[in-house]
Structure 1
Amino acid sequence: MTIATLFAAVVRAKPITGFIVEDDPDRPQLARSIGLLHLTMMGVGATIGTGIFVALTTAVPEAGPAVTLSFVIAGITAALTALCYAELASAVPVAGSSYSYAYATLGELPAFLIGACLLLEYGVSCSAIAVGWGQYLNELLAITTGWHIPDALARPPGNGGVVNLPAILLIGMCLILLLRGAKESATANTVLVFAKLAVLALFVGIAIAHFSAANFHPFAPKGMVGIGTAASSIFFSYIGIDAVSTAGEEVENPRRNLPLAIILSLLIVTAAYILVSIAAIGAQPWTAFAGQEAGLAVILHNLTGAAWPAVLLALGAMASIFSVTLVVLYGQTRILYAMSRDGLLPKLFQRVDGRRGVPRQNSYIVAAGVALLAAVFPLDVLVNLTSMGTLIAFAAVSIGVILLRRSRPDLPRGYRVPLFPILPIVSAGFCAYLIVGLPADTYALFAVWIAAACVIYFGYSIHRSALA
């Protein structure tokens, strides 16, 4: 292969018509069975979880009470990106999310690397989320029975344990739901989302009753550096936007429902994050958050002196993290499905169960990989890697909006980003700002991941691409 043909291969883009005409009557397809309510709840379900129930214990020590501003910064970045996602999702309503959008606008190699970022984002974030589930399970057991799972079996190596069995159990339960079908999974997620929103409302009500303005002084003890660092580390909690767009081929009326669900879910999530963070800091000095596992449940227990509020919150957190894990696992299987259908990954990942309409073998492989990560990796390493993958994928979507407007201005769109091209440019800039705030070891691990992706692409995918 000459340099000229190699360059032509890595920059070849998939025509928009190639996404629209994917139906093959001889092959089982993903079924369109998800409505607007379920889709919006998928966005909320994939997002509210770790950001509030787990990550406050690491974000508050980094920024102090000013972590509320960190959530605002991360929320603004997510909002800008959400508008870009809404346009691309309405224009290219297929599975694959940022990967598919990049394939249509940036070319094959960039799309493959974006796909690798998405797999990192979904696989690693799901593992980080599952780690947090075990913390709340132990808190619930300690309050109700006085017993807890031994650290060796409830924590990953590096965090005082050997293997995280609760995380493996959680992923196994989610796998069972995923194999039953997309509609069944979306319905279960909707129930879980309403439960966790009710529990968060309970927390805010009790915490506000014990609110102390003194806990907000000093407001920014770590300065702007701390605020930016915290914003970078908690940004992974906004991956729900991406999860909505992975359902592009299973949504009813996708050109209308995809952009609506993306925007609605972001509004709900951002409001919940800011309210809960303000209430939590008002109820407890910021210095008490460091190392406080199952933090919100502990705060309620300390405030009331009773067990029932903490029990309810621990149950709500477990339901919340369950729904996040479920939707994120779902999203990862659909990204692999899209990459496999394009020939960039083995055909195993695109096989669909004819009766249930789900990628069965794909789901087993994803669940096994995520369970392994959750069982043996510490939470802080996972969180920062997730943020890196998320931000790069988000930046690619912002750039993709500009490129697709230039190349296909005639393409039907259910939604258009306002203030074009200023808003997509600002969105990409915010993503770059948060990427800069990530620690050096995250860059090193991410470089290894991208290098491995390049080896797979040039060794396998470039030769088997459907566009070859």
Structure 2
Amino acid sequence: MQSLFRTRRIDEGFLRHSEWSRKLGAPSMIGIAWMFSIPLCVFVLTPHSLSTLSGPSTTLAIILAFIVSISTMLHLAELSCAMPKNCSPYHFAFSTIGELPAFIFGWLSLTQSATISALLCNSWGRHMNLLTGGALHQISLVKWESTQQNSTILQQFLGEHVDVAALIAITLALPILFCSLTVVGTVSVCLVIVTCLILFSCSLVAFFHADTLNWMKTSFFANGYNGFLRSASTFLCLSIGVDTLSSLLEETSHPRKKIGSMFPLLTVIISLMVFIFSTVISLAIDPQRITERSTVPELFQLANVPTARYLMTVGSVCGLSGAVFVSFLPGSRIFSQLTNDHLLPLPRDSSHRPYTSIFFYSLLVFSLLFFHHKFLIDIAIFCTILRGIFVISLTHIQHFLPEPIGFTHESAHYKKIRIVSRGSNSIAITSSFASSISEAAVLQMKVAKTETDKLQNRLERRLTESSQLIGIPKSVSQYQTIERNSRPGSISSFAAVNKGHNCIEEACSHTGSYGSGRAHLYSRIDPDIPNVSVFNAKNAHRQYFPIDPVENHLTAVRTLMLFLILSTLLALLVTTLDFIHVSSIVLFICLSTLLLLNLVIICRLQTNDHICKRQAITPYFPYSTYFTLFILCLLLSSTKFRTLFWAIIWTFSGIIIYFLYGFKNSTERYSTNCVILENTDARRAEEEEQCEQIVDGERMTSLESQNTLNIE
């Protein structure tokens, strides 16, 4: 049992070492998040919700989904700041819960990403067919040939036809994905600008055609309470683009400085845009006229606005084109993590670019193109809810660990001070240059030159003193330099310049695997001065008593599991039973009482906030945590039994693959869980000492031989 829940040891070597190139900036991150979420919610999920789920109440469903999404992203931002690694929830699960739960989480994340990619590819084919006037589907549709016996089975799970245009979308996305991530970010920014401009203009046209009678003609809650919950579950994909950024943390420059505020801000903007568009569309068009096969451009044809229909067709093709290749990013990264940990029987990536993972992930997406559109949406929604529950539960566990995992300060800034020999102290200024600047500028330059000379003298003096020392460094902390204007714990590593990681050793392996056998000198955050307790106003209201941290952690985990079970049972009771009989009311009161008692016990537990300084903190913890978990359990209760059945079968198939291959070949099975620290100066001194001993021994033997010859 311990082998199933073996954990990964998180140390400075794992946190700071990375083979990925940090190329994503803030504009590229915004473009990727918007490019994924907006086309998916507007062109795929909004027509589905208006036609088959909740009708006009879609607007309220978006508000509920926004509340859950922004709370989930705040929890994800805390995890990502603590561990800025690609697929950080997966690594957190590996280090806290165990290998098998981490594999299940990775398997569900891979399923969620693959189903959404298949949905986007199918939707791209339909909108491209509208752009070509229906000529594309005349040559791209391949219909099934089924008998009467198996026709009902095929209609439940498989589509009536296969669209070859979706395969064309995958083929066009691969060349962009094989390029640098900078290319992906640039293309995303360009396409998202075009898509948003078209959406704003068409929304303005639809606003002038809005009529409140369209809401009065039909029931506001078209499919009742369950339909409203399913619609809210559908729009949890509002944050799917922001969630994608957590899979690219090792490829982002200074991620911990950005994601703390960027995750909730992007979620708010995306939710606002989708809410405005969905409200305007539901007011401009009668929801009863919207069918399951309707697309957003066809909705403007129902409103008798042909110009807006053509413009929206162009915008939908642009938006879905960008969403297709952006949707491959999170799936390929989690695929790469699973293969690098030897949990899937597939070849690993030989470099820091996941070419192999992208190729095999595209094959998985292609296999899902044969399934029905509604079936893929149900599976994607189910996996999205489970992923949200998993992320929030990991954040809860992080607050009660005896030793918190991850960073507590900002990571190192990669800076380099260039030391050169001084020349003349004079400043040469030509007449043309002197005439173009003022005397104040010249004075400022002289002062700057003086300060530069002082710094240069200081650096040369330190360099000379350090070169004369023969002693061996005592610890790795001597490789650290504390900067005056930086945060505590910020260090500068001269050998890590343009390396993309914080290894002090200049020669670094590029195999992409952690612990590849090469020795590294990893930097530490431990200061050279003793720790001093500092008053924290945020935690002044909470009293901390001496308790057993291990027992406190186990109690927090048990109460969390009990809360999830009670919330799921209470949600099933609310969605399935009618409160007419006395037994239903009594059962509801009992479950509610147990849930409240469990909440009281949880809120009295002591967190580790007084021993850990976090970069991003979830506001109103733990109240916001349990409120979001209860809403997610409520949304999970609206899942269809058929969807739940096939999701369980798919999960068990992944567990079988794990036991057949991953359990025996995992990198953690034979891991020593230690960091190799090598002192190159000490090794060089030992080698020189050995050489001197050998030379002295040879001299002694030669002298003895000469003495014996002289005696003879």
TM over 0.5: yes
1:22-33 matches, within 5 Å, as 22-23=17-18, 29-33=19-23
- Does residue 370 of structure 1 match 2:330? no
Partner of 1:451: 652
Partner of 2:384: 390
1:87-102 matches, within 5 Å, as 87-102=78-93
Decide whether the 8 Å contact of 2:128 with 2:317 is kept in 1: yes
* Structure 2 gap segments, 5+ residues each: 145-153, 405-607, 670-712
Partner of 2:279: 278
Decide whether the 8 Å contact of 2:349 with 2:355 is kept in 1: no
Q: Residues 174 and 412 (structure 1 numbering): CA distance in 2 closer, same or farther, change over 3 Å?
A: farther
State how far apart, in whole Å, the 1-side matches of 2:310 and 2:160 are. 24
- Amino acid of the structure 2 residue aligned with 1:391: I
- Determine helix, strand or coil for the equivalent of 1:273: helix
Decide whether the 8 Å contact of 1:44 with 1:266 is kept in 2: no
Moved more, 8-17 or 332-341: 8-17
Shift of 1:100: 2.2
1:343-354 matches, within 5 Å, as 343-346=342-345, 348-352=347-351
State how far apart, in whole Å, the 2-side matches of 1:42 and 1:390 are. 19
Decide whether the 8 Å contact of 2:121 with 2:169 is kept in 1: yes
State how far apart, in whole Å, the 2-side matches of 1:216 and 1:359 are. 49
Find 1:114's aligned residue among 85, 89, 105. 105
Q: Residues 155 and 386 (structure 1 numbering): CA distance in 2 closer, same or farther, change over 3 Å?
A: farther
State how far apart, in whole Å, the 1-side matches of 2:118 and 2:131 are. 21
Q: Residues 19 and 314 (structure 1 numbering): CA distance in 2 closer, same or farther, change over 3 Å?
A: farther
State how far apart, in whole Å, the 2-side matches of 1:215 and 1:155 are. 36
- Amino acid of the structure 2 residue aligned with 1:38: S
- Amino acid of the structure 2 residue aligned with 1:130: C
Partner of 2:196: 197
Shift of 1:149: 1.8
Partner of 2:541: none
Partner of 1:3: none
1:140-159 matches, within 5 Å, as 140-142=131-133, 147-150=135-138, 153=141, 158=155
State how far apart, in whole Å, the 2-side matches of 1:155 and 1:324 are. 26
Q: Residues 46 and 456 (structure 1 numbering): CA distance in 2 closer, same or farther, change over 3 Å?
A: same
- Amino acid of the structure 2 residue aligned with 1:257: K
Decide whether the 8 Å contact of 1:34 with 1:252 is kept in 2: yes
Shift of 1:123: 0.7
Decide whether the 8 Å contact of 1:248 with 1:254 is kept in 2: yes
Shift of 1:456: 1.4
CA RMSD of aligned residues (A): 2.1
Partner of 1:81: 72
* Post-superposition CA distance 1:240-277 (Å, at most 9, x none): 23211000110000112233332222112100111011
TM-score (norm 2): 0.60
Q: Residues 160 and 224 (structure 1 numbering): CA distance in 2 closer, same or farther, change over 3 Å?
A: closer
Partner of 2:569: none
Partner of 2:636: 435
- Amino acid of the structure 2 residue aligned with 1:349: R
Shift of 1:287: 0.9
- Amino acid of the structure 1 residue aligned with 2:310: V
- Amino acid of the structure 1 residue aligned with 2:221: A
Decide whether the 8 Å contact of 2:238 with 2:270 is kept in 1: no
- Does residue 419 of structure 1 match 2:646? no
* Post-superposition CA distance 1:391-443 (Å, at most 9, x none): 11111110111111222045563211011112222222222221111111110
| Aligned residue pair count | 447
Over 4 Å off, 4+ runs: 154-161, 409-412
- Amino acid of the structure 2 residue aligned with 1:314: T
Partner of 1:229: 230
Partner of 2:593: none
Partner of 1:261: 262
State how far apart, in whole Å, the 2-side matches of 1:454 and 1:245 are. 25
- Determine helix, strand or coil for the equivalent of 1:163: strand
Find 1:399's aligned residue among 382, 393, 396. 393
Q: Residues 48 and 175 (structure 1 numbering): CA distance in 2 closer, same or farther, change over 3 Å?
A: same
Partner of 1:213: 212
- Amino acid of the structure 1 residue aligned with 2:303: L
Decide whether the 8 Å contact of 2:4 with 2:100 is kept in 1: yes
- Amino acid of the structure 2 residue aligned with 1:47: S
State how far apart, in whole Å, the 2-side matches of 1:228 and 1:446 are. 19
Partner of 2:301: 301
Find 1:55's aligned residue among 27, 45, 63. 45
Find 2:7's aligned residue among 9, 13, 17. 13
Decide whether the 8 Å contact of 1:11 with 1:109 is kept in 2: yes
Decide whether the 8 Å contact of 1:96 with 1:339 is kept in 2: no
Shift of 1:160: 6.6
Shift of 1:148: 4.5
Decide whether the 8 Å contact of 1:134 with 1:166 is kept in 2: yes
Partner of 2:581: none
Moved more, 281-290 or 259-268: 259-268
* Post-superposition CA distance 1:212-266 (Å, at most 9, x none): 0111223223332221122223434542232110001100001122333322221
Q: Residues 20 and 153 (structure 1 numbering): CA distance in 2 closer, same or farther, change over 3 Å?
A: same
1:116-195 matches, within 5 Å, as 116-142=107-133, 147-150=135-138, 153=141, 158=155, 161-195=160-194
- Amino acid of the structure 1 residue aligned with 2:258: N
Moved more, 418-427 or 447-456: 418-427
* Structure 1 gap segments, 5+ residues each: 1-6, 24-28
Partner of 1:38: 28
Q: Residues 349 and 384 (structure 1 numbering): CA distance in 2 closer, same or farther, change over 3 Å?
A: farther
Q: Residues 305 and 21 (structure 1 numbering): CA distance in 2 closer, same or farther, change over 3 Å?
A: closer
Highest RCO, 1 vs 2 (Cα 8 Å, sep ≥ 6): 1
Shift of 1:346: 4.4
